[in-house]
Structure 1
Amino acid sequence: MQSVEMIPFGLLAGFVDDKEVRITEISTESFCFRVREQVERPRHIRIGFYDLSESMYREVELESYHFMEKRQEQWYVSYTVEVFQQDYVQAVQKLFRKYTGYIRARLEGTDGEMAQIVCNYPADQDEIHAESMEEQKAIWFSGARIQPVVQGMELALELDRNTWYDLYQRNPIERFAEQYWKENGIDGWEEYKTIPDRLYIGNAFCHLLFPKEEQLFALMEKAIVENVEITLVFPCMREFQVEERGKLLKKVDNWCEKRQTRVEILVNDWGMTALVKESGKHLEPCLGVLLNKQKKDPRMRYKKGSTRGLGESNLQADFYRTFLKDTYGITRYEWESCGYPQVFPQGKNSLHLPYYQTNTSQYCPLYASCTEGERGKQRLPEHCPGYCEQYAYLYPEHLHMAGRYNSLFGLDAELVKNPEKLKAYQQAGIDRLVIGL
C-alpha cells in the first residue's frame, strides 16, 4: 500500500465535524490525522483535495470508513482511518499524480514548468522574446490608434523621465504631443492632432527621475503659458528627503500664488500627504496609485476562477473616502487599467493607461545590474546616470510586461487594441485619462 506523509496542508485538508485536522499520511486505502484532543464519535469527516489544474478544492465526504488505530502522544492524539469508497480512491490517485509532478518540477524544472503544473502557465512560450524595448513596443502597439477623446473626459500625458522633460522643453505643446505619439508607434496622430489638457510631471516610483528644481519650474512655466493644467507626481519619500520636499512644496505654492493658479500634487505615501496639507492652500492632493491598493498582476489570466473582488479597493468604503477628504483634502483618486473590470467610487477618478505597475523597489534592480552585473546586489542609489533611459528588463512576449527603472509594469493589451472601450470607463466613473508611454 503506497502512502505519502506530510503533504502540504494547502494541498490536502481534513475536517472532522467542525474541527480542522492535520492529515499526516494518506494512501488509497486509509489516512492518518492528528488532533490536540480526542475525537468522540464523529458525525462527518470531509477531506479537501486541492486540484492544481482547476485551482480549487474538491471535497470528498466519507460515508464508509472505520477507525483502525488510536495513539496518544505527548502533545496530540493520532488516528488511523480505513476508507471503503471509490471517490476517495480516485481523489487520492489524482492527488498523487499531481503531487509527484509538483515535486519533480520543484527539483528539476524551471519556474515556468512549475507554473505550468500549478496554473496551466504556457511555459513553451517563454523563449519568445523581443530583442529590445523598441521592438517590444512595436509589437504591442502595432495597429493601435489614437481615438477621438471621449467627450467630457480630460486627457493628460505623463512626463516621467528626462526624455520627455527635455522633449517638452524644446518643443511647443502641439509638436511635443505629435512626437509623443509618433515615437511610441501609435498611429492616427496626424488625423486627430490630439493635444493634452494636462501634463503629469514627475515619476511615481523612482525619486531620481523627478526633475531638478530649475527644470521643474521651467516645465511648469511653459505649461501655464500654453494653457495646460499641471499635476506634479511624487514617489515614496525617504526620511532624508522630508526637509527638501517640504521646501520644494512651499516654493510651488508661492509660484501658484503669484500666478493665481492651483497645482495638483499626486502623493504616494502618507508622509507626503501630510506635507502637502502643511505647505499651502494652492496645492490639491490626489491619491496616487501606490496608495490605491488595487490587485494587479499580468499572471491573473493564467489562474482559473472568479476575478470577483479584484476590481475593487479600499476606496469603495464611504468612510475611507470621507476620511481622505476631511483629513487631507483628497477628492481625486488615481487608477490603472489592468485588464479586468473595475469598480470606481463616487468622486473624481483618473485612469492611467496602457501600463499598470505591479512591483516597485527603492533598491533598484536595474541599477544593480548595470553597476554590479547582478540584479540581486541592490542598494538605494543616491545618484544615477539614468540607465533606464537606455535599458529595460524584457520578459516573454506573451506576458505583456516589462521592467522599467525600479518597477515592473504590465500592459493592458486589450485596451490598446480596442480603445473604444474607453467609453465604458467613462460610464463607470472615469473623468480623466492619463496616458503614460
Structure 2
Amino acid sequence: MESGVTKLFIELVQRQGRGDTLSPAELALLELGLSDPDCLDALNRHMEMELYSVESEDKSDPSISSIQSKDALAALMKKIEPTSISSAKDPQMDVQIDAHPHKPEQIIGRNDHKIFWRKWMAVAAVLLFGCAITTIWWQLNNKQPATQQLATNSEQYERVQPIVPGSSGAILTLGNGRKIALGSHHTGLLHIGSLTIQPGKDAAKLTNLEVAKSGEEVLYNTLTTPRGRQYQIELPDGTKVWLNASSSLKFPTIFNPQHRTVELSGEAYFEVVHNSSHPFQVKVKDQLIEDIGTKFNVKAYSDEPTVRTALVEGIIDVTNGIKKLRMKPGQGLKASANAMSIYNADLNQVLAWKSGFFAFRKAGVDEIMRQLSRWYDVDVVYSSSFHKTEGNNASFTGSIDRNLDLQDVLDGLQFSQVHFKIDKNKRTIIIEN
C-alpha cells in the first residue's frame, strides 16, 4: 500500500469527523480504507500521535467531567451512525452517510486516567464509525479486493482533489516533554506550573511571572511548525515571533537575568521588545544576532546555501565568531561558512511570506521548489531527463499568492525550459525538461 493512499484515507477520516461534506467518491474511498489492514494500521498510529486531551495542572480550571464525556460520546455515536441509503446511483458509491462535527481536544498531555478515558472514547467512536461503514460495504458485495480498489479509486479521486496550501498550526514542546498542539479553535487559558498559555488559531501568548534564580536548572521550550504550517507566538518578555513553515524556535522557560537568548532553525520574523540591560539574542547555526530595538527577519534553513538576515527597523549586531557587523534598516546580511557580507535588501520580497505571498527575483528552479515543498508539504523529484544546469538557467521574477492551490501556483510559473507534473498520490512535484 502506498503511503499516499493511507495519507488520503486518514485525511478523509479527519474530514468526516469534522462534519465536512464528502463526495460519493470520497465516501467510497473512506469505506474501502476501513476494510484495508494497511489503512487501519496507519489510522491507529495517527491516533496515537493526534488524539489529544485537554488537561490543566491548575485544578481550578474547568474540565470535562466523566459524565459529560460519556454524554458527548453517546451524542457522537448517534450522529455518525449511517442514516440512509442514497438513491443516487453513483458508479463508485451507493451509500450516503450523514456526519456532524466532532472536535477532539488539542492538547498532548500525560497519560493519566482522564487522558486515557477521553482518548479511548474518541478511538471507540472512530472504530464504531468504521465498523458501521465496513458492514455496509460488505453488503454491497463488491468482489474486487479492497486494497486494489482503494488504490484505483484514490487515483481517480486525486485527479480532481487539489493539493491545498498550508495553514496556521504548531507544536509547543515544553521543558518537561509535554506537547501542546497550537492552531485549533481552543482559546481557554492553559496553566503549566508558572507558565500560562493563551492559544488561538493563528497565534499564542505566553506569560511567566517567575524570575530565574541563580544556579537553577534551565528548561527549554520548543515551538515547531511542520511543513505546511506557520504560526505566531508572543514570548513572556513581549517579543513577537512569526515562524514560517518547517521551522523551530527554542527558548528557555524563564529568561536569565543577563540576556534573552533563543535558537532558530528555519525562518522567522522578530519584533523584539528592547531592553538595553537585558539584550535579546538569536542563535542560528554559527551566528549570534543581537538586537538594539529591532524588527528583523532571519532565514536559516538547513537546505539553503546561506543564512540571510534582513533588518526592517532598529539596529542589530551579527557575529560569527570571527568578525562582527552592525546592520541598519533596509540592509540584508548573507553568511556562508566563515564569510559575511552586507547588501541592500528588498524588504517586500523578504517579508512576502509573512504577508501571504511567494516573492521571487530571478529565482531558479531549486530555490522555488524549496519554498513550495515547505508550504505545500510535498516532495520534489527531478526526472532522469531533467538537466539541472539548463533548468536553472530559467528564472522567475514576480509574486504569487500563497493561498492558491499548488497546481495554480505551478501554472503561474510557466518556465519555458521546465515542466512540472504533480503525483498527488505521493504528494510529489516531478520536474522535467
TM-score normalized with structure 2 length: 0.21
* Structure label with greater radius of gyration: 1
If each structure's strand is expressed as a fraction of its own residues, which one has the higher value?
Answer: 2
Q: Which has the higher contact order (CA 8 A, sep 6+)?
A: 1
TM-score normalized with structure 1 length: 0.21
If each structure's helix is expressed as a fraction of its own residues, which one has the higher value?
Answer: 1
